[in-house]
Structure 1
Amino acid sequence: MVVWRANISAHLVGHGLKWLWRKTKPMAVIVVITVGVVHAYNYRKKQVRRKKWNSAEKDLVILHTIPRGRYCPNLSPFVVKLETYLRMADIKYEIDCEEPMGPKGKLPWITLNGKEMADSQLIMEELGVKYGKDFSSNLTKEQNAVSRAFLIMVDEHLYWCNCMWRWVYDRDYNVSHLTVWNTLLPFHWVYRPLVARLIHLQAWMQGVARHSQEEVVDIGRRDLEAISCFLGDKPFLMGEVPSEVDCAVFGMLSQFEWNSRGSPYLKMLDMEFQNLHKYCQRMKVRFWPDWNQCLNPPRT
């Protein structure tokens, strides 16, 4: 009896699946064809873009990133970091926003003489070798060690504190007003919540999001305090001359200084760590004399 019932059930399921396939087959075919066409179209556009980038002027760095911001040249501290380095090293470059995400699924990335490179720090190190622009060569071993520690703290720790404020804690959703994206697509109601969910998941895996908001803000404050204490009255982090670590520190602080209206971190720069506020202005004047022209829309 059990076997008979099992055979009947399998027979009914089989008929049901056949009926469902007959009904949905046209739609399934349309979906498969549409996906294939879109994939082929995107692949073709990708090849055209690479052909254009590969035929660019020799030794011209094509910096791939998201569009310019309203108050800061970019919403990504890593883009500001890399672009500041390119300016520090006097390397000729141009901005391209057609394909922001690179071969590692991150931004920024660059194309140079047909070669693709990703990760801001690795790019800086490779360009430093290629162009002989190692701004840390005059530092002592101890200074290089300290630079490395600050680099990791900023890129891998303070970064997540900023992400949590920008995408998760800020109930005014100021990120929706930092770029022209909000006029080009339903940024505020569609894109922002999706990114916020993704950022929160990533920050949870990293560990920062497992703390309370008060704890995360205090973690960020202690990172800023460490930078402020070490900077002191020096013009740059390692002394009188800027080095690569300044690119990373400025890239992150630029987000607090210009892209975090209403955040506790901006208040910290204004009240507790005024030397960091002055540091941002100093870096801006030295390496970004065209800052206002690099905004979208440009300012006079």
Structure 2
Amino acid sequence: MENLHEILGSKWFKLSCAVAGVVVFGYVIVKRFTRREKKIAPKDTVILYQFGRGPKAPSISPFPLKLETYLRMANIPYENDLTGKMSSKGKTPWMEYNGVAVADSQFCIEYLNKERGIDLNAHLTAEQKAIARAFQKMTEENLYWVLFSWNWIHDSKKEVCKLFPYPRPVALFFYYKLKGKAVGYAKAQGMGRHTSKEVMSIFQQDIQALGTFLGQKPFLMGDEPCEADCAVFGMLAQVVWQMPNSPHEIWIKKEFPNLIEYCYRMKERFWPDWDENITEPERKKME
């Protein structure tokens, strides 16, 4: 019995109880946010599956924001499912369209282009299309991993926790639960093996390429936006709105304010319902 009292009074037991309480509380919160009825889409309407809205931007990930911006740019009717339900590939975003499920943001765009006869690049020359694709792939296959590595490996303040729609203790629980897998992804890709200084250098080179090429043009390839703008905007929006006071946001504001202006230009044109401090009514409005 004395041993039991010692155990119950020990710091280890109290800590275990605290952790268990956080886990249970987190589970309740998750259930509350994800318990929604399955949406039944009208004909020719996209059901877009993604995580919930972010605190400063419509998505906590660049790829859902890319796809949703494309839907708006192409004037395709859609409804959001923000329960975080994963695709058959175990990822988001994905969509259902007239009973067909399509995973991966780019495959969704290509499928809709074909089904609806859409070409957001029709005003571009063959050479411009090639350049646009190159910048999109640099953004999605390189710059993305720079930001990912910063959030999960190099940021000692764990600012990424602010993107989770939970109280700080629960957000930290999920952060540590996901961190090992996230670091593994970054190291497998390669970016996670670099130092923070090296990763920052890669960020600056990518941003310099984007900013220099954009110059004073309204959009990536000229006076009108194209498909690649959805991807570039989706990625830059993470820095501009969801990484405040990070070395990345400070540097891009100082060195390439034209990219900041570009982001606000895209936001104004395709996201008039996006308030930078997204309240619950605003979230529902965008759903």
Deviations 1:26-79 (A, max 9, x none): xxxxxxxxxxxxxxxxxxx99x96xx44x4211111110111111011111001
Number of aligned residues: 250
Aligned residue type for 2:231: A
- Mapped partners of 1:176, 1:69: distance in 2: 11
Does residue 233 (structure 1) correspond to residue 233 (structure 2)? The answer is no
Alignment correspondent of 1:159: 144
> Does the CA contact (< 8 Å) of 1:176 and 1:182 recur in 2?
no
Matches within 5 A, 1:85-96: 85-96=70-81
How high is the sequence identity, in percent, across the aligned residues? 44
Q: What TM-score do the two structures reach when normalised by structure 2? A: 0.82
Distance 1:181 1:62, change over 3 A: farther
* Secondary structure of the structure 1 residue equivalent to 2:79: strand
CA displacement at 1:196 relative to structure 2: 2.2
Does residue 186 (structure 1) correspond to residue 170 (structure 2)? The answer is yes
> Does the CA contact (< 8 Å) of 2:41 and 2:79 recur in 1?
no
CA displacement at 1:98 relative to structure 2: 2.6
- Mapped partners of 2:136, 2:167: distance in 1: 32
Distance 1:102 1:243, change over 3 A: same
CA displacement at 1:294 relative to structure 2: 9.1
Which stretch shifts more, 76-85 or 288-297?
288-297
Alignment correspondent of 2:91: 106
Alignment correspondent of 2:45: 60
Matches within 5 A, 1:109-258: 109-182=94-167, 186-188=170-172, 190-258=173-241
Deviations 1:80-111 (A, max 9, x none): 10000000011111110234321111110011
CA displacement at 1:229 relative to structure 2: 0.6
* Secondary structure of the structure 2 residue equivalent to 1:94: strand
> Does the CA contact (< 8 Å) of 2:219 and 2:262 recur in 1?
yes
- Mapped partners of 1:293, 1:173: distance in 2: 21
CA RMSD across the alignment: 2.2
> Structure 2: where are the runs of 5+ without partners?
1-33
CA displacement at 1:296 relative to structure 2: 4.4
Which stretch shifts more, 232-241 or 162-171?
162-171
> Does the CA contact (< 8 Å) of 2:153 and 2:192 recur in 1?
no
CA displacement at 1:221 relative to structure 2: 0.9
- Mapped partners of 1:296, 1:117: distance in 2: 30
> Does the CA contact (< 8 Å) of 1:165 and 1:263 recur in 2?
no
CA displacement at 1:238 relative to structure 2: 0.4
CA displacement at 1:180 relative to structure 2: 1.5
Distance 1:193 1:127, change over 3 A: same
Alignment correspondent of 2:31: none
Q: What TM-score do the two structures reach when normalised by structure 1? A: 0.78
**Larger Rg belongs to:** 1
CA displacement at 1:138 relative to structure 2: 2.2
* Secondary structure of the structure 1 residue equivalent to 2:47: strand
Distance 1:181 1:114, change over 3 A: farther
> Does the CA contact (< 8 Å) of 1:68 and 1:179 recur in 2?
no
Deviations 1:230-277 (A, max 9, x none): 100000000001001000000000000001122111012210010000
Aligned residue type for 1:86: L
